[in-house]
Amino acid sequence: MAFLPSQLTKKRPTSEISYELEKRRTIEQYRTGTLSIHDVCDAHPELLRSAHNYSFKQAGDCPICEQETLVTVSYVFGPRLPSHGRCVNSERDLDRIRKRKGSFTCYEVEVCTSCSWNYLNRAYPL
Ligand SMILES: [Zn+2]
C-alpha cells in the first residue's frame, strides 16, 4: 500500500486520473477491519520527509486518525528530471516546469504527518 515514487515511472497518464473511488474503498476496508492500521498508515520515510518539508497543506481531516494533519506531496516526472521525480511544493515551481519542452506528469499523494496514512490521489499531465 505504501506509495513510492519509483513505482510511477512506467505508466504515465495522458489525461487526469482520480483515485478517489479506490481510496474510499481502502478507507472502508480499514473501517470494517479488512485492512489494519499497519496496512494503511505505512508511508515510506522518504515520503514522510517530503510531507514535512515539501508539501501543500490540505483541507480536511485525516480519514484514519481524524487529525488536521493532511498534506499533499506532488511529484513531477518528465525529461531532464530525476528518475525518482522532482518534489514540488508551489504553483510557481509547477509553472516553471510547465514552460519546459517535453511532457510532464504530476502525481499528488495525500499524506498524514500524524499517523502516516498515504494515498495517491490523482495523476495528471502538466
Ligand atoms: Zn492520520
So what's the pLDDT on residue 119?
A: 95
CA 111 – ligand 1 centroid, Å: 8
| DSSP state letters, 84-106 | T-EEE-SHHHHHHHHTSSS--EE
CA 118 – ligand 1 centroid, Å: 9
* Mean pLDDT on 41-55: 94
* pLDDT band at residue 75 under the 50/70/90 scheme: very high
- Of 8-22, 52-66, 73-87, 105-119, the range with the lowest mean pLDDT is 8-22
Can you read off the three cell numbers belonging to residue 54?
A: 515539501
CA 76 – ligand 1 centroid, Å: 24
* pLDDT band at residue 14 under the 50/70/90 scheme: confident
- The model carries a pTM of 0.87
CA 67 – ligand 1 centroid, Å: 6
CB 117 within 8 A of CB 65: yes
CB 52 within 8 A of CB 43: no
